[in-house]
Amino acid sequence: MQEPVKPELCGTMATERPSRLRVFSLNCWGIRLLSQHCAQRYEMIGELLDREQHDIALLQEVWSEKDFLFLKGKLSPSHPYSHYFKSGVIGSGLAVFSKHRIQDALLYQYSLNGYPYMLRHGDWFGGKAVGLVIVDVFGLKAHVYVTHLHAEYSRAQDEYLPHRIVQSWELLQFVRHTSCGADLVILGGDLNMHPEDLGNRLLRSHTGLRDCYTETDMFDGCDDGHTLIADNHFTKKQDLIPFEKGIRIDYILIKGSHRVSMKCESLSTTKGSVADKPFPYSDHEALTADLTLLRSEDSRNALPASERMEVVSEARAVVKEGLCLTEALRDKASRLMCAALLLLLLVFLPCLCHFSFTTTGFLGAVCTGALLSGALLYLLFTTHIKVLKETEDQMLLSSNELHTKLTGCRVSGSSSSDGSPELQPSGSFKREE
Closer CB to another protein, 39 or 396, in the complex: 396
Q: Is 361 in the site for another protein (CB under 8 A)?
A: yes
Task: Give residues 127-166 in contact with another protein (rule: CB under 8 A).
Answer: 127, 132
Q: Is 424 in the site for another protein (CB under 8 A)?
A: yes
Residue 354 appears among annotated catalytic residues? no
Q: Is 411 in the site for another protein (CB under 8 A)?
A: no
Q: Measured on CA atoms in the order 190, 191, 192, 194, is the torsion positive or negative?
A: negative
Interface stretch with another protein, choices 19-27, 31-39, 322-330, 391-399 (CB under 8 A)? 391-399
d(CA 325, CA 103): 43
Interface stretch with another protein, choices 83-91, 197-205, 207-215, 331-339 (CB under 8 A)? 83-91
Q: Is 87 in the site for another protein (CB under 8 A)?
A: yes
d(CA 100, CA 149): 26
94-98/81-85 β-pairing: antiparallel
Q: Is 399 in the site for another protein (CB under 8 A)?
A: no
Rg of the Cα trace of the chain? 25
Q: Is 302 in the site for another protein (CB under 8 A)?
A: no
Closer CB to another protein, 267 or 318, in the complex: 318
Q: Is residue 259 within 8 Å of residue 183, measured between CB atoms?
A: yes
d(CA 122, CA 61): 12
Task: Give the x/- contact pattern for another protein in 182-221, rule: CB under 8 A.
Answer: x---------------------------------------
Q: What is the largest CA-CA distance in the chain?
A: 94
For residue 397, give every residue at least 6 positions away whose Cβ sits within 8 Å of its Cβ, in sequence order, or none: none
Q: Compute the least distance from the CB of residue 275 to another protein, in Å.
A: 36
Closer CB to another protein, 174 or 213, in the complex: 174
Q: Is 104 in the site for another protein (CB under 8 A)?
A: yes
Q: Is 336 in the site for another protein (CB under 8 A)?
A: no
For residue 134, give every residue at least 6 positions away whose Cβ sits within 8 Å of its Cβ, in sequence order, or none: 102, 103, 104, 105, 141, 142, 143, 144, 182
Q: Is 382 in the site for another protein (CB under 8 A)?
A: yes
Q: Is residue 374 within 8 Å of residue 334, measured between CB atoms?
A: yes
Interface stretch with another protein, choices 219-227, 234-242, 259-267, 384-392 (CB under 8 A)? 384-392
Q: Which of 47, 310, 390, 422 binds another protein (CB under 8 A)?
A: 390
Q: Is 379 in the site for another protein (CB under 8 A)?
A: yes
Q: Across the beta sheet with 94-98, what order do the strands follow?
A: 81-85, 94-98, 56-60, 19-27, 287-294, 261-269, 218-220
What pairs with residue 135 in β-bridges? 102, 142
Q: Which of 180, 230, 339, 344 binds another protein (CB under 8 A)?
A: 180
Q: Is 78 in the site for another protein (CB under 8 A)?
A: no
Q: Compute the least distance from the CB of residue 293 to another protein, in Å.
A: 20
Q: Is residue 147 within 8 Å of residue 118, measured between CB atoms?
A: no
d(CA 309, CA 401): 9
For residue 140, give every residue at least 6 positions away whose Cβ sits within 8 Å of its Cβ, in sequence order, or none: 13, 183, 184, 259, 260, 293
Task: Give residues 237-266 in contact with another protein (rule: CB under 8 A).
Answer: none
Catalytic choice (83, 143, 284, 384): 284
Angle, helices 38-52/65-75, rounded to nearest 10 degrees:
30
Interface positions with another protein (CB under 8 A): 1-2, 4-6, 83-89, 91, 101-109, 111, 125, 127, 132, 173-174, 177-178, 180-182, 357-358, 361-362, 365, 379, 382-383, 386-387, 389-390, 393-394, 397-398, 401, 404, 418-421, 424, 426-430
User: What is the set of active-site residues?
Assistant: 284
